[in-house]
Amino acid sequence: MMLRYAFVLGLFPAGTLLAQPCMTSFTATASPQPVNGTYGCGETVTFCFTVTNWNSTNANWFHGIEANFGPGWDMSTLVPGPPPATCGPSAGTWGWYNNVSGQGPGFFFDLNNDGNPANNYGDFCTGAVNWQFCWTISVLSGPACQDGLSLAVNIDTFSDSQTGSWGSNGCGNDPNPSVFPGPVVIAACTANAGIGAPIDLCTTAPPTVLFNSLAGTPDAGGSWTDPAGAPHSGTLDPSVDAPGAYTYTVTSVAPPCSVQSVITVSVVQQPDAGIDGAITTCASEPSFPLAGLLGGTPSPGGTWSGPAGASSGTFDPAVDVGGAYTYSFPATAPCAAASATVMVTVNPSPTAGVDGNLTLCSSSPATALFASLGGSPDPGGTWSGPGGTPTSGTYDPATDGPGVYTYTVQGVAPCPNSTATVTVVENTEPDPGLDAATSFCSSDGATPLIGLLGGSPTPGGTWTGPSGNAIGGTLTPATAGSGAYTYTIGATAPCVGGQAVATITIVPAPDAGADGAVAVCDAGAPFSLFDELGGTPDAGGTWANAIGVPSTGTFDPNGDEAGVYTYTVAGVAPCANSTATVTVTVSAQPTAGSDGVAALCESGQTLDLFTALGGSPTPGGSWSAPGGGATTALLDPGTAVSGTYTYTVPGTAPCANDVAIVTVTIATEPDPGTDASTTLCQGSAAVDLFTVLGGSPDPGGVWTGPGGTVVPSLFDPATGAPGTYTYTLQATAPCTAQSATVGVTVG
């Protein structure tokens, strides 16, 4: 918050302090300066007023400034310049306001920046200052600009007690200075540029002096500019100059001014209908635009008329009549009308008719081709054959070949010849072949029926079976029946068809079944080979072994040889015998030997279990341990366990596997400990020799003294003899007894 105080020092006559001015010095400029105290109509001037010293009378701060303009100024053109920067220590700003406390428009200081300068103080600066304010404004123009009107500009400054909120009055004697040292008025221009008016010219018009088109009494000697603002001679050539506003300017030296008038020129393009043309066309030609037949460079947008009246401008020889077709433009002021003519001649086109087709049989009589043309062909044309050679126009199947025959009618230029064709198709009379008879075995392969007929039958016909039903052209003896098979060959009109019959006898084929195979074990029972055949073999056939020796058909695995056995069923002609084979494979039954036993000591040698089997076991089998896990034939009693060890020899199907077992018992070897020695005094207490042994001896053994007699294990030095004492443990067969010694010394 800014605090302000007003002090009155000493005693003054009433009103003395309040009447002192606040603005004590200033500068004012005008750009441009008036000439001889005058400005011309519409002239724009910028004024700048600078307050250079402010006396803060009764604590009044500079708060506002306005310019008062004389009646010769156009107030609608007033534009304020940028406001000055704040002079004092506040954050307030200068701005342009239309009305502040009944004053304005002008520049006022808004201390609080709230948009209302009337409720606050001014810009606090005293002494030498530099507040500059500028305005740009124009002199009245047009009829309002009258000679002698005042162009005075006076400046009025305000303290914040006048337009702000300060309550101590002051600055009542501030001057209202003029920016001009003397009076300034309007000097109306005396130059006369006449009155402009619009003019219309055709592009073909001669050059026009624009000055002659000005109304009024224009001053001569002015200058012209074209629509783009470039200097112009004032003589307009409509064939090259652009339309638009052409400006005439007359300048006066005293007072210095200029006036203008504008002639708006419209240039109308003279239409060009082009140069007359002509064409001869054919009635069969496609439509074409008539404009393309005009010479020169005709303008677009014209209209066409012909012998039948209005025309679209596109000529269709097929429907439009020949004659004069006129392209025209109506007169558009200030230009004249234009027209050009195209003379069209239409020649009729020949017609050879529409393409046709003719189908004949190779036995048909000679036929005229003209009757096969479509449409309405002109008579009198010429014919040519497929090779382009001339022909009479009559087709004889006996001598002529099928193909495309062309009929040509000559045209009158520019019409081309007209052609039409007749495509001749000559169908050959079909041959069903000759009747025939044949026999088949039901096992024979499929056969084309047409090959069973005599002669040279034409393919493509249809077949019916003995019952009259339609069938395909292939005979399958396995499913077909005996009887008459009829072949019918149809004909394409105008040809006719025919029939031939194949009489067929089907003989049932013998069936020995399908080859079989069987694998048996040499220990199996005898069986019938017939049961091993596939399919549905006929009974009553004969059997032979691999070398052709007759067989009964019953196979005994324990005595008959393996191999291929052949079953034969005799056939009736034309059927051949039917044979099928049974391949017999005999596998030998394996043997694992007979069960065995083995007793071992855990410290004994490795045993080959195979040697413990009885009988004649087949080598190559596999061993399993008592727990069922796989093992080898070599058994180490030091690591193995007692139990049943199984030997399995796999059989080749259908032979079964064979097994035998070896029951193994492994005895544990006793541990007498390790040899040791001890030295005792004769007076020492008795010692248990068992405790002297090294290792971990098993208990339960027997001690013998140095003489080999059995002694207790407790040795008394007072009574016992020194020497070697032996500890012996008995073993379960096949293990042997074990012993260890203790050497005793008595001192």
Q: Domain of 550: which CATH number? A: 2.60.40.10
CA distances from 58 to 125, 176, 363 (A): 14, 20, 144
Q: Which long-range contacts (CB under 8 A, 24 or more apart) does 691-696 make?
A: 692/742, 693/727, 693/740, 693/742, 694/740, 695/671, 695/740, 696/671
Alpha-carbon distance 263 to 210, whole Å?
8
Q: Which of 696, 700, 745, 698 is nearest to 725 (CA)?
A: 745
Do residues 121 and 35 both lie within one domain? yes
**Which residues are 73's β-sheet partners?**
139
Check residue 253 and give its pLDDT.
72
> Residue 705 is part of which domain span?
676-746
Cα angle 328-334-338, degrees, rounded to a multiple of 5: 15
Which residues of the chain register pLDDT less than 70? 1-19, 254-256
Do residues 147 and 203 both lie within one domain? no
Is residue 18 situated within a structural domain?
no
Do residues 245 and 121 both lie within one domain? no
Q: Look-up: residue for tokens 């300034």?
A: 184
Check: CB of residue 390 under 8 Å from CB of residue 382: yes
| CB burial readout 649-681, b (16+ within 10 A) else e | bebeeebeebebbbebebbebbebbebbebebe
Do residues 448 and 498 both lie within one domain? yes
Considering 365, 393, 427, which residue would you say is the last residue of a domain? 427
Q: Which two tokens stand for residue 51?
A: 């307050």
Do residues 75 and 207 both lie within one domain? no
Alpha-carbon distance 437 to 721, whole Å?
132
Check: CB of residue 218 under 8 Å from CB of residue 197: no
Do residues 600 and 739 both lie within one domain? no
Do residues 175 and 37 both lie within one domain? yes
> For residue 559, which amino acid is it?
G
Do residues 181 and 40 both lie within one domain? yes
Backbone phi, then psi, for 267, in 5-degree steps? Answer: -110, 120
Check residue 13 and give its pLDDT.
30
Check: CB of residue 496 under 8 Å from CB of residue 470: no
Alpha-carbon distance 329 to 311, whole Å?
14
Is residue 655 situated within a structural domain?
yes
- Non-local (6+) Cβ contacts of 660 within 8 A are 592, 593, 594, 595, 596, 613, 614, 615, 617, 646, 647
Do residues 577 and 528 both lie within one domain? yes
Task: Please name the helix (run of DSSP H) or strand (run of DSSP E) that holds residue 738, with its range, or none.
Answer: strand 738-746
Considering 290, 321, 347, which residue would you say is the last residue of a domain? 347
Is residue 400 situated within a structural domain?
yes
Q: Look-up: residue for tokens 């005229």?
A: 368
- Non-local (6+) Cβ contacts of 525 within 8 A are 557
Chain segment 65-102, per-residue pLDDT in tens: 999 999 999 999 999 999 999 999 999 999 999 999 99
Strands 622-624 and 643-649 come out as antiparallel
Q: What is the dihedral of CA 115, 117, 118, 120, to 10 degrees?
A: 110
Q: Domain of 310: which CATH number? A: 2.60.40
Q: Which of 343, 315, 334, 177 is nearest to 265 (CA)?
A: 334
Strands 257-268 and 244-252 come out as antiparallel
> 198 exposed, middle or buried (CB, 10 Å; 0-12, 13-18, 19+)?
exposed
Question: For the chain, how far is it from start to end, CA to CA, in angstroms?
Answer: 129
| CB burial readout 445-479, b (16+ within 10 A) else e | eebebbebbeeebbeebebbbeeeeebeeebebee
Q: Which of 412, 423, 417, 410 is nearest to 374 (CA)?
A: 423
Do residues 179 and 43 both lie within one domain? yes
Check residue 255 and give its pLDDT.
65
> For residue 574, which amino acid is it?
P
Alpha helices in 287-383 (DSSP H): none
Do residues 89 and 159 both lie within one domain? yes
Q: Where are the beta strands (DSSP E) in 303-402?
A: 303-306, 309-311, 314-315, 323-329, 338-347, 356-361, 367-368, 382-384, 390-391, 394-395
Cα angle 488-492-493, degrees, rounded to a multiple of 5: 120
> 553 exposed, middle or buried (CB, 10 Å; 0-12, 13-18, 19+)?
middle
Is residue 107 situated within a structural domain?
yes
Number of Cβ atoms within 10 Å of the Cβ of 340: 22
Check: CB of residue 161 under 8 Å from CB of residue 170: yes
CA distances from 276 to 195, 292, 308, 559, 680 (A): 46, 11, 19, 125, 166
Number of Cβ atoms within 10 Å of the Cβ of 232: 18
Alpha-carbon distance 402 to 77, whole Å?
102
In three state form, how does the secondary structure of 229-282 look?
Answer: CCEECCEECCCCCCCEEEEEEEEECCCCEEEEEEEEEEEECCCCCCECEEEEEE
CA distances from 91 to 122, 164, 592, 610 (A): 11, 16, 123, 122
Check: CB of residue 395 under 8 Å from CB of residue 367: yes
Helix (H, G, I), strand (E, B) or coil at 634: strand
Q: Which two tokens stand for residue 203?
A: 């592009």
Is residue 454 situated within a structural domain?
yes
How many domains would you assign to the chain?
A: 8
Check: CB of residue 411 under 8 Å from CB of residue 350: yes
Q: Which of 349, 425, 422, 413 is nearest to 384 (CA)?
A: 422
Check residue 722 and give its pLDDT.
94
Do residues 47 and 98 both lie within one domain? yes
Q: Which of 17, 136, 5, 129 is nearest to 75 (CA)?
A: 136
Check residue 653 and give its pLDDT.
86
Q: Which two tokens stand for residue 259?
A: 């006036």
Alpha-carbon distance 454 to 318, whole Å?
63
Check residue 672 and give its pLDDT.
94
Alpha-carbon distance 3 to 264, whole Å?
68
Is residue 8 situated within a structural domain?
no
CA distances from 217 to 192, 225, 262 (A): 7, 20, 14
Number of Cβ atoms within 10 Å of the Cβ of 701: 22
CA distances from 367 to 359, 361, 387, 393, 396 (A): 10, 11, 19, 9, 7
Considering 617, 641, 667, which residue would you say is the last residue of a domain? 667
Is residue 656 situated within a structural domain?
yes
